[in-house]
Structure 1
Amino acid sequence: MARYFDVHPDNPAPRTVGQVVSLIDSGGLVAYPTDSLYAFGCRLGNVDGIDRIRRIRHLDSGHHFTLVCRDFSQLGQFVQINNARFRAVRAATPGSYTFILPATKEVPRRLQHPRKRTVGVRIPDHVVAQALLAALGEPLVSSSLLLPGDEEPMTQGWEIKERLDHVVDAVVDSGDCGTVPTTVIDWSDDEPVILRRGAGDPARFE
């Protein structure tokens, strides 16, 4: 049965954040809020957690997982960014964007696209997500919480708890996250390509 954490969206209690991070540190898989949908999250080295996300969402080997980072400095450890990418990505973060970029050696092979050797990265503009990332001290391996067969994502923590009670270890509820996913920009080549138009304004990448 999943633990349920009710967290204030603007002023998350450090003790509660610490309890969630302790669970993540011990190998847990959590559902947590972001500025664009709820997401599944686990530690970078949590092989079982990553496999559980694949099973829950029915993901194939070509799926791009996302490393949700606290800030630009942390993001830069895991992807290769030239000057053009640097300026554009920095200007758009934090925010509701996911960038697909060439991975560095810090990213485990199992998280990289099998052919392109790329990975998704983002920096959320969300108080609770940022509190978790600050306490964890490393990125969260994440994937949007959209279940197979669902046309719309779940927006309420209690609903997520009801449906996923036996497949995740915790649900962090800080209120409605909306139903619009991130805008996804593939910048694995010289020019950015918009793969999905979502919550982030794509105009700057067109």
Structure 2
Amino acid sequence: MSLSIEIHPQSPQPRLVAQIVQLLAEGQVAVLPTDSGYALVCSLENKPALQRIAQIRRDDEPHHMTLLCRDLSEISSYARVDNTQYRFLKAHTPSPITFILEATSEVPRRLLHPKKRSIGVRVPTHPVLQAILRQMTEPVLSASLVMPDQEAPLEDPAFFPRGLDRQVDLLVDVGFLAQAPSTVIEMTGSDFVLLREGLGGVPPELAEA
């Protein structure tokens, strides 16, 4: 059975945040709230936890994971960012937008797109997740909470499938949280390309293009 921690969605209790950070550092697989719904999360360097998330999702593509960073400076440690990219990122972080960027050597090879050597990065806006990331020594990896046998989105922990608590170690419960995809922008080329319009909308720079 997984450990369930109920936490205030807007003003997370520091004691509980510290407990969650410690459990992630110990290698636990967690369900955490994000600005685009609940997500499966693990620490960056934990290969067994990453494999467990792939098994839960029945996903054999680890590069579908997103790197959740606390701020823009942390993004620049894990992704190559030139001046133009930096200005764009600064204007649109934090936000529910995933940016696809060329990865640096700090990113484990198993997480990279095999051809593009790229990684998805995001600075989330959810207060609980931000509080957790501020206490982490590195970003965390996330993937949408998708259960292959469930047709409805998983938005309320009170109604999560019973089998989930045997597959994850920790559930951070903030109550009902609507699930919506993030906006995805490809930034590895000379032009920035909108791959998916989602919760983050379309940045004006791309809408005008």
Task: Give 1:161 deviation, angstroms.
Answer: 6.8
Which residue is 2:110 aligned to?
A: 110
Scaled by the length of structure 2, the TM-score of the pair is: 0.93
Q: 1:110 to 1:93 in 2, by over 3 A?
A: same
C-alpha contact 1:146 1:152 (8 A) present in aligned 2: no
Q: Distance in 2 between matches of 1:91 and 1:30?
A: 30
Q: Distance in 1 between matches of 2:42 and 2:31?
A: 9
Q: Distance in 1 between matches of 2:35 and 2:48?
A: 26
Unaligned runs of 5+ in 2: none
The CA RMSD over aligned residues, in Å, is 1.5
Which residue is 1:16 aligned to?
A: 16
Give 3-state SS (helix, strand or coil) of 2:45's partner. Answer: coil
User: What do the CA deviations read for 1:41-95 (whole angstroms, capped 9, x no partner)?
Assistant: 1111100111111111122336421110001111110001111111111111101
Q: Distance in 2 between matches of 1:195 and 1:150?
A: 26
Give 3-state SS (helix, strand or coil) of 1:5's partner. Answer: strand
C-alpha contact 1:158 1:173 (8 A) present in aligned 2: no
C-alpha contact 1:70 1:134 (8 A) present in aligned 2: yes
Q: Distance in 2 between matches of 1:136 and 1:68?
A: 11
Q: Distance in 1 between matches of 2:175 and 2:73?
A: 29
Q: Distance in 2 between matches of 1:126 and 1:37?
A: 10
Aligned pair count reads 206
Task: Give 1:162 deviation, angstroms.
Answer: 3.1
C-alpha contact 2:97 2:200 (8 A) present in aligned 1: yes
Task: Give 1:147 deviation, angstroms.
Answer: 2.0
Q: Where does 1:1-206 land on structure 2 (aligned, <5 Å)?
A: 1-61=1-61, 63-160=63-160, 162-204=162-204, 205-206=206-207
Q: Distance in 2 between matches of 1:139 and 1:151?
A: 30
C-alpha contact 2:63 2:110 (8 A) present in aligned 1: no
Unaligned runs of 5+ in 1: none
Q: Distance in 2 between matches of 1:96 and 1:29?
A: 22
Scaled by the length of structure 1, the TM-score of the pair is: 0.94
More off after superposition, 194-203 vs 70-79? 194-203
Q: 1:151 to 1:189 in 2, by over 3 A?
A: farther
C-alpha contact 1:80 1:104 (8 A) present in aligned 2: yes
Give 3-state SS (helix, strand or coil) of 1:175's partner. Answer: coil
C-alpha contact 1:160 1:171 (8 A) present in aligned 2: no
C-alpha contact 1:70 1:133 (8 A) present in aligned 2: yes
Task: Give 1:146 deviation, angstroms.
Answer: 1.9
Q: Distance in 2 between matches of 1:113 and 1:5?
A: 34
